[in-house]
Amino acid sequence: MPKKTTTEPIEEDIIVTEYSEVMKKSYIDYAMSVIIARALPDVRDGLKPVQRRTLYDMHELGIKFDKPYRKSARIVGDTMGKYHPHGDSSIYDSLVVMSQSFKKGLPLVDGHGNFGNIEGDGAAAMRYTEARLQKVTQLGMLADLDKDIVDFVPNFDETEKEPSVLPCRFPNFLVNGSEGIAVGMATNTPPHNLSEVIEAMKAYMRDEEISVKQLMKYCKGPDFPTGGIITNKDELLSIYETGQGKIKIRGKVEVEKGKSGRTNIVVTEIPYTMIGAGISKFLQDVAALADSKKIPDIIDISNQSSKEGIRIVIEVKKDANVDNIINLLYKKTKLEDTFGVNMLAIADGRPETMGIKKILKACTDFQFELATRKYTNLLKKEQDKKEIQEGLIKACNVIDLIIEILRGSKDRQQAKACLVEGKTAGIKFKTRESEVMASQLKFTEAQANAIMDMRLYKLIGLEIDALIKEHEETVANIFKYEDILSRKESMAMVIINDLDEISKEFSRKRRTVIDNLEDVVVEEVKVPEMDVIFLMDRFGYCKIVDVPTYERNKETIEQEFKYICKVKNTGKLCIFTNTGELHTFKASDITISKLRDKGVPIDNVSTYSSKTSSVIAVCSQSELNLYRMVFVTRKAYCKLVDGGEFDVAKRNVAATKLEEGDEVVSVHAVKEAKNIILCSNGGYFLRFQIEEIPVKKKAAVGVRGMKLVTNDYISEVYFTRGVDDSMIEHNGKQIQLNGIKLLKRDTKGTKLR
């Protein structure tokens, strides 16, 4: 018989809670994890967790500035396995950035191999590159880790310990800056000059009531690795008080004599924001300005940049107005740009946007904390050393007695008890006098252990003299450390001396010029206004040709191109899509080309995307302003809209409102047309007068133009004048449009087979 089983009810611990509260708590926990543990730097050492862990791992691996380079892959793998289990790409990316002198004011990693360049080329794979610590990192950020001056916390799996913060001896948060995007907040701190930041920190230490304006006498402003010119000096005070604002930066431009009497405009320094793809974008923008004749005097542009620095050469005509061209470059390209400052960092365990004074206060407090822990530990070691030294010196004075005790003792414990407590029982002495003297010994336990471990050569006269001299040094160190710990002025002087050493060895001259410059004033060359023809084929490639080209090739053009539109070269073009959107763009965005040129995708010059919609109609803005536009949708809704409603500044707006599942079938400018013919997929034709369609706003749906049978929809729309013999082909038959019976709007229409 099968065994009988019994099931007991399982106790359930069901927690009833509000779903929104669970989501809120979970999201806040996630957000704080990203903010604290991933994206934002700590104001004390200026490092994000991934950077801190990478540098500490290199320190642990012994990859110091005076040791050979090691493969980046080894560093990344070790860091990921021990401290940062979030993927190798984030670790290698941080390693690369910390080595790039064009991004960091003071690189922390010494990279060997291809670590990318200022023009945006990425670093080689980690298996090819090598790295080691920079000297400033080793001496200024990782020194004294063995002196217990920072807290160590367990790593992710609690198999290792890692520092919660590095003992950075200078304000790295300001020197190297930072950028990072967290959840609901972002940091963007510009880099500064090392010596200036250190001088500002020293000034704060001397006077904690110092104003931000006075601090700026020492730290004048950001110092970007790429140089450039800051043009809004007067606004820096507000930025440094609040920690937020916008810095306007320009590239540096020089004028040189070129070949054949021409002039070369040479860009020698770029804005910090142009690092990477910004340089190629600048070259494209300058070429576009030349092609569109906005700067017709530009003959050629070349990028001659190298390891020695930036050199972008723009060749202009002999009699060109060079100053005006330079101003146009500032105005029309990223040669003048804005750096958005948001000095956000983790302070006391929470994110905070801080002005320069608050940052320096946090860094100064951290230096005092480090110094207190360091010299407390050093004092303890010196005091322990002093105890041992005094015991050994005292032992040397009664060495014969100690030898007698050691020889007469049965074991170490007996000898130690005699040295510490004066216990002589069981020890064989040569004389009663020796026993009495031994009973008076009062060495400490540490001294007794040191005496018993002492080697005989220490009894040499010179060794005893060296011991006495070492004791004197120890006493001097104890006095020094006690003074540092007891007097804030003494500790401040020690910190200032450390700062001076770092500044002396690692500082460099300022690269960025800070000034107050007026906004550029340009005299744009007016492009002569003329008619041009916009052409777009069925594949979405468009071009603009001049009118003579169109007239000569009219038949060919009308066969090859789906949309043809006359427009002024200074005007705008409008694209209506099946999704009811209007996309506008300038005709000048497309250069006048030859008929056989390939053209450019319409997606590249407008906000239109061929992936999400299709073009229904193209017309010029000036044509729209003259006429009304009639809209017809797949579900047979119609309306008239004044073309002036589409004269908008935005590049993308809703041209009409659509019901769910509906789309635009036709958009047509009403010029001479009197009648409209709606043709359904099922073969129904309805001809009625356009004046029956009401005029509505672009945001309206419209009215029904035709009653459709089930599953039928509008497939074609035609327009005719009063007397018109236009013919169309339908199901292999020729149909005269004006021959279709004229009916009223919102009727079923006539079915033609």
Q: What is the pLDDT of residue 246?
A: 95
**Exposed, middle or buried by CB within 10 Å (0-12, 13-18, 19+), for 580?**
buried
| Greater model confidence, 578 or 35 | 578
Amino acid in position 160: E
Residue with tokens 């904690």: 208
Residue 349 CB coordination number (10 Å): 9
Residue 458 pLDDT more than 70?
A: no
Q: How far is CA 508 from CA 155, 220, 504, in A?
A: 37, 15, 9
**Mean pLDDT across the stretch 107-115?**
96
pLDDT of residue 288 exceeding 60, the answer is: yes
Tokens of 432: 């009663």
- pLDDT-derived band at 374 (thresholds 50, 70, 90) equals very high
* Contact assessment for residue 119 and residue 148, using Cβ atoms and an 8 Å cutoff: no
Question: pLDDT per residue over 562-621, tens digit each?
Answer: 999 999 888 899 999 999 999 999 888 888 888 888 888 998 888 898 888 899 999 998
Q: Say yes or no to pLDDT of 279 above 70.
A: yes
Residue 442 CA to residue 433 CA, distance in Å, equals 17
The rounded distance, in Å, linking the Cα atoms of 686 and 694 is: 17
Q: What is the mean pLDDT of the chain?
A: 89
Answer whether residue 2 shows pLDDT above 60. Answer: no
Q: Quick: pLDDT tens for 153-208.
A: 999 999 999 999 999 999 999 999 999 887 778 899 999 999 999 999 999 999 99
Better pLDDT: 14 or 555: 555
Q: 252-334, what's its fold?
A: Gyrase A; domain 2 (3.30.1360)
Fold of the CATH domain 365-505: Topoisomerase; domain 3 (1.10.268)
The amino acid that residue 85 corresponds to is: P
**How confident is the model over 376-403, as a mean pLDDT?**
86
Q: What is the pLDDT of residues 234-276, one digit of tens each?
A: 999 999 999 999 999 999 999 998 887 788 999 999 999 999 8
pLDDT, position 414: 85
Question: Residue 522: its pLDDT value, please?
Answer: 63
Confidence of residue 141 (pLDDT cuts 50, 70, 90): very high
What integer is the mean pLDDT of 97-124?
Answer: 93
Predicted pLDDT at 461:
58
Is the Cα dihedral 554, 556, 559, 563 positive or negative? Answer: negative
Residues of the chain with CATH 1.10.268.10: 365-505
Of 11-25, 55-69, 186-200, 370-384, the one with minimum mean pLDDT is 11-25
Q: What is the pLDDT of residues 647-695, one digit of tens each?
A: 888 889 999 999 988 999 999 988 888 889 999 988 899 999 999 999 9
Comparing CA positions, the residue from 481, 506, 435 lying closest to residue 108 is: 506
Cα 129 → chain centroid:
23
3-class secondary-structure state, position 629 = strand
Higher confidence at residue 466 or residue 133?
133
Query: Strand pairing of 229-230 and 513-514?
Result: parallel
Give the pLDDT of residue 492.
94
Sequence-ordered list of residues with C-beta below 8 angstroms from that of 47, at least 6 positions apart, any chain = 41, 55, 166, 168, 172
Residue range 709-732, pLDDT digits in tens: 989 999 999 988 766 667 888 777
Domain 47-167, architecture per CATH: Alpha-Beta Complex (3.90)
| Residue 626 banded pLDDT, cuts 50, 70, 90 | confident
The SS3 assignment for 655 reads coil
416 pLDDT tier (thresholds 50, 70, 90): confident
The CATH code of domain 531-751 reads 2.120.10.90
CB 587 within 8 A of CB 538: no
**Are 35 and 183 in contact, with CB atoms under 8 Å apart?**
yes
Tens-digit pLDDT profile for residues 494-549: 999 999 999 999 999 999 999 988 776 666 556 678 889 999 998 889 999 999 99
From the list 69, 128, 481, 627, the catalytic residue is 128
Confidence grade of residue 736 (pLDDT, cut at 50, 70, 90):
confident
Nearest by Cα to 318 from 261, 361, 370, 379: 261
Q: Give the model's pLDDT for residue 724.
A: 65
* Positive or negative torsion for Cα 35, 38, 41, 44: positive
> Residue 95: what pLDDT?
96
Residue with tokens 């009062």: 442
Please state, for a pLDDT cut of 90, what percent of the chain lies above it: 56
- Distances from the Cα of 533 to the Cα of 46, 116, 587, 610, 696, angstroms: 57, 45, 10, 22, 31
Q: Residue 705 has what pLDDT?
A: 92
pLDDT at residue number 338: 94
**Above 90 in pLDDT, residue 443?**
no
Residue 674's alpha-carbon distances to 206, 389, 434, 690, 721, in angstroms, are 87, 115, 137, 6, 5
**Does the structure show a pLDDT above 90 at 212?**
yes
Contact between 569 and 587 (Cβ < 8 Å): yes
Q: How confident is the model at residue 6 (pLDDT cuts 50, 70, 90)?
A: low
- pLDDT for position 8: 59
Any residues with CB less than 8 A from the CB of 727 and at least 6 apart, and which? 734, 735, 736, 737
- pLDDT higher than threshold 90 for residue 44: yes
Contact 345/178 with Cβ under 8 angstroms?
A: yes
Q: What angle do CA 295, 299, 302 make, to 5 degrees?
A: 105
Closest CA to 652 of 598, 612, 680, 687: 612
Q: How far is CA 558 from the centre of its chain?
A: 49
| Distance in angstroms (rounded) separating the CA atoms of residues 277 and 288 | 17
Torsions phi, psi for 204 (to 5 deg): -65, -40
CA–CA separation, 595 and 110 (whole Å): 54
Burial of residue 746, with CB atoms counted within 10 A of its CB: 0-12 exposed, 13-18 middle, 19 or more buried: middle
**223 touches 105 (CB < 8 A):** yes
Counting residues of the chain whose pLDDT is more than 70, the rounded percentage is 95
Query: Which range has the worst mean pLDDT, 23-27, 88-92, 317-321, 556-560?
Result: 23-27
Does 272 participate in catalysis according to the annotation?
no
Cα separation, 331 vs 519, whole angstroms: 9
Query: Which residues of the chain are in CATH 3.90.199.10 domains?
Result: 47-167
